[in-house]
Structure 1
């Protein structure tokens, strides 16, 4: 425990003793200017040193020539050690205008701060113990059991869906990750599911009464696949990787996972959502009972999900991949970089939807190569996959990012999407720098 913590504790108890003495001499609180409490008055005027250990500054520096706006990771244990309070205690974080800003503690001991930093600039926040005002969440994710175990999560820019065990029991072949488009920053996924649930229930009653036209109209008005003002689901997955799922390469074929069997939400806002999926035992290239683990995180303001994949019970290394499905309606807009793949998906109905869905997988931590892998046999509208691949050993972590955008939420065309991918990659190479100091020390 540092010196200032001992000083702070000493003055706390000493001020309590003096307050008790003053109170016994009938000094009235309303005699103090501004009606300050006696202990706060003594603390502030007589013993200012005691506040040093209870207030720290966190400075975040932008080493690049571009404006940055992102969720910043800080070592939470360092924050609590310098404050001299128990880990996990409530905090208040203020900006230069003394406004409270959103923060979040994660399960891996990080303090997340929603930060904006000018080019080559520094922003400084003040951190003190205390109960912060309620913070509005920019992320959310949950299981929708009634919808055959859909697990769907979102941030202010987009939403994504993974398929659960109830869907697998139906026999439907949906392997990869789905994309839900958003055109508004607020959370909308729970609202969409609610509207569909209510419409289905009401529609079923109307059909019993022979009111089929009304039931059909109600279904259209609440369909997940039509835009009712906040976006829609028009991305086609089926027996593919979808947007960003991993797979195992066996020759030139991709062995894909089916639906997750278990899940655990590790973080759910206000700045980061994290879920871990565990997949059922399977045989991969002759190796039995292999189990895939997949951890996915999505931050406020990011187009990209951070994904960590590892496999248990491998007896030998495997060749893994991750990427995006390529549909036969457009096989020309694939872009392969040394550490990314991206594609302008034509949607599930190119003749009626007048836009594209821009998808990508980014591999900043090492990949052997990227390439297009065609399907060995026709699978509906699936022409193949654009992937990055590498060799992986048992329990070795494969870390990459995937994400999507569209014209309704800040990505006007595929060139703009490429710019966002490039900027994201650059920012990973040059992260914002964090320094922590005790104020007044």
Structure 2
């Protein structure tokens, strides 16, 4: 038996692999050691782990109930061959569930809507936007940057992360952009689905990073390259790359993979960065009329604020070994005030989660509800589901 680290959106799943040549079907054992049910954590299984030749005919079946799980195939490296199969089981508190890897036809596969979605948006300059059934976000590309630098109307110069405040579970990205391009409406007005009224500017928005040198923060400009990795019922993920940038004489190179799974309010940011041992992920303080709170023991910092006719919570969270501390950075310059989570960089890599909860979406009714969610999320990422393959 050997131990293998498997990287997923929520926790790192510890995969214990043992092979028994005499067994016909592989068994996947999932163990939850926490005292609450875990429902929205995606498990990744490698093709090589399952010892199957064709991922397209693989099904994951609950051994006890016989229920087939909704699955999603992912081509991680973009070579045209599927590398991973994903599923998102419901595991009761302090319980172990056994799943069987079976061969099924296409018609037998459980169907589910593709609620986890992202894409490049050339019709709105060059946004890259992503969503699931809870939240939506966007970031800005090089064309928007050049327009801003050339004083052309409609440009955006920012590596901050924008929040799209949706309050429906179905996808809204294409619908909202269609209203924009056809001139039939605007996504800046709420007509029942939510809206984009979250100002980013040069702030960090919801999870953009910076590097602190002495008392100042430095950060990149817009992303320069993008690649969609996967969309589906359980996960969307994509890759972004940035032009090298300067932090008080230190050359910083940055790229990242962003992942958002079904049912989660927080996106996972897996960042590769050179030139620094610490980064700071930030939350814009907007009008500074909200409250910064933090729980260093559980690895999070949050900002709960009044927002138009409702309230909004944003947060950064990381594992205990990654979270180094936090700071409320309050200055006079417009959009430079942020609540920062200071994060350790290990082997040129840092992983953290960032997202929001909007009271008007009826997902969270109060600041306390939001912080309870963060504390629960912390338990999950610090106590990974255990997955054993037999």
Instruction: Judge conservation of contact 1:165–1:261 (CA < 8 Å) in 2.
Output: yes
Give the aligned partner of residue 10 of structure 2. Answer: none
Q: Distance in 2 between matches of 1:242 and 1:340?
A: 16
- Alignment RMSD: 2.3
Larger radius of gyration: 1
1:243 equivalent in alignment to 2:224: no
1:163 paired residue number = 140
Residue 190 of structure 1 deviates from its aligned partner by 1.2
Partners of 1:323 and 1:341 within 8 A in 2: no
* Deviation sequence 1:39-80 (CA, Å, 0-9, x none): xxxxxxxxxxxxx51x33323222121121123324324552
Deviations 1:212-236 (A, max 9, x none): xxxxxx5xxx211122222211211
Preserved contact between residue 139 and residue 161 of structure 2 (Cα < 8 Å): yes
> How far apart, in 1, do the equivalents of 2:336 and 2:236 lie?
32
1:55-111 CA distance string (max 9 Å, x none) = 333232221211211233243245522xxx316343122335444321123428543
Change (3 A) 1:308 1:227: same
Residue 279 (structure 1) aligned with residue 239 (structure 2): no
Q: Does 1:402 align with 2:364?
A: no
Distance verdict in 2 for CA 1:56–1:419, change over 3 Å: same
Is residue 2:63 matched to residue 1:100?
Answer: no
More strand by share: 2
> Structure 2: how far apart are the matches of 1:239 and 1:436?
46
Corresponding position of 1:70: 40
- Which residue number corresponds to residue 252 of structure 1? 215
Per-residue deviation, residues 157-198 of structure 1 (Å, max 9, x unmatched): 100101111110111333300011121221121111112222
Instruction: Return 365-374 or 252-261, whichever deviates more.
Output: 365-374
Name the residue aligned to 1:196.
180
Q: What does 1:178-327 correspond to in 2, within 5 Å?
A: 178-198=162-182, 200=183, 218=184, 222-288=185-251, 290-312=252-274, 314=275, 317=276, 319-327=278-286
TM-score (norm 1): 0.74
8 Å Cα contact 2:26/2:50 also seen in 1: no
Q: List aligned pairs for 1:425-440, cutoff 5 A.
A: 425-437=378-390
Contact 1:71 1:112 in 2 (8 A): no
Partner of 2:366: 413
Q: Which has the higher contact order (CA 8 A, sep 6+)?
A: 2
Contact 1:92 1:130 in 2 (8 A): yes
Give 1:139's match in structure 2, choosing from 108, 111, 116.
116
Q: Report the equivalent of 1:207.
A: none
1:435 & 1:304 partners in 2: Cα distance? 27
